[in-house]
Amino acid sequence: MPASSNKLPIGVLISGSGSNLQSIIDACEAGRLDAEVKVVVSNNPTAYGLERCYKHSIPTVVITKDEFPDKAAFDDEIIKTLNANGVNLVALAGFMRILTPALVAAFPMRIMNIHPSLLPAFPGLDVQRKALEHGVRFAGCTVHFVDAGVDSGPIIIQAAVPVLDDDTPETLSKRILVQEHRIYPQAIQLYAEGRLNVRNRRVFITHGKNAETSLTNPQCTLFKDDR
Ligand code: GRF
């Protein structure tokens, strides 16, 4: 039996830079993630993420929407490609398209997404700017299972980062991205270990340990007598 045969076969869907894809590749190569990227599908032929695959000899398939009459046919091709590569888990990593119900149904609770906000706050696009405009004290990222809605599926892991007074959407994105690269491979590893149990909207982790500390931002002294 090849050494890789007990690794979780995953497929990653990208549209752009692929830095989350890179974090998954790195975690696999470092032995922190018992998975193997079987195929990367990009809907963008010039996505930088494809270059990352070439460097690591990971098979790539480009599927653009112009090749197909409609979204159903486009997603059908994605399903075929993932199945042809023996994919068990699908990881969306900056894939800039909303999946059809047929694609979601083809991999029930077997599609994950990383989103750069603390869901359910700020689903959709341009969310770091929205977080700043809203004035939240914490931003962050969420790994969740994908359901038929947009950024609405059961939440697996979240990481929070403080919002700083001089943040711009760019600086906040950068701080969030560091956490994305940490928690996405972790969530996939939990899945690979069979430790994720979905009940209704909640995901329970076998032998998981909840964080016991609380974070406060800002940390200034709030009461006059304490100053
Ligand atoms: C990330 O911010 C991710 O949360 C969002 O799209 C961005 C993709 O970045 N879904 P990259 O392509 O992984 O660098």
What is the tally of structural domains in the chain?
1
User: Rounded to the nearest 10 degrees, what angle do helices 169-192 and 127-134 cross at?
Assistant: 120
Domain contains 153: yes
**Which residues share a beta bridge with 114?**
143
Domain that holds residue 52: 8-205
Domain contains 67: yes
The ligand 1 atom nearest the CA atom of 23: 13
Q: How confident is the model at residue 3 (pLDDT cuts 50, 70, 90)?
A: very low
Which residue puts its alpha carbon closest to atom 5 of ligand 1? 94
Domain contains 41: yes
Q: What residues flank ligand 1, with Cβ below 6 Å?
A: 16-20, 93-94, 114-116, 177, 180
**Total-model pTM:** 0.95
Q: Which residue has the tokens 């969030």?
A: 176
Lowest-pLDDT range of 58-72, 79-93, 203-217: 203-217
End-to-end CA distance of the chain: 66
Domain contains 3: no
- For the question of residue 134 being annotated catalytic, the response is no
189: closest CA among 2, 86, 36, 50?
36
Domain contains 134: yes
Q: Provide the residue count of the chain.
A: 227
Tens of pLDDT, residue by residue over 82-123, are 999 999 999 999 999 999 999 999 999 999 999 999 999 999
CATH number of the domain bearing residue 37: 3.40.50.170
Please pick, among 115, 134, 144, 181, the residue that the annotation labels catalytic: 115
Q: At residue 136, does pLDDT exceed 60?
A: yes
Which positions ≥6 away from 30 have C-beta within 8 Å? none
φ and ψ of 166, to 5 deg: -100, 15
Tens of pLDDT, residue by residue over 25-41, are 999 999 999 999 999 99
Q: Which residue has the tokens 């038929």?
A: 148
Domain contains 226: no
Report DSSP state, residue 47: -
Q: What angle do CA 32, 21, 83 make, to 5 degrees?
A: 95
Instruction: Note whether 159 and 174 are within 8 A (CB).
Output: no
Domain contains 160: yes
Which residue puts its alpha carbon closest to atom 12 of ligand 1? 18
Which residue puts its alpha carbon closest to atom 6 of ligand 1? 94
Domain contains 218: no
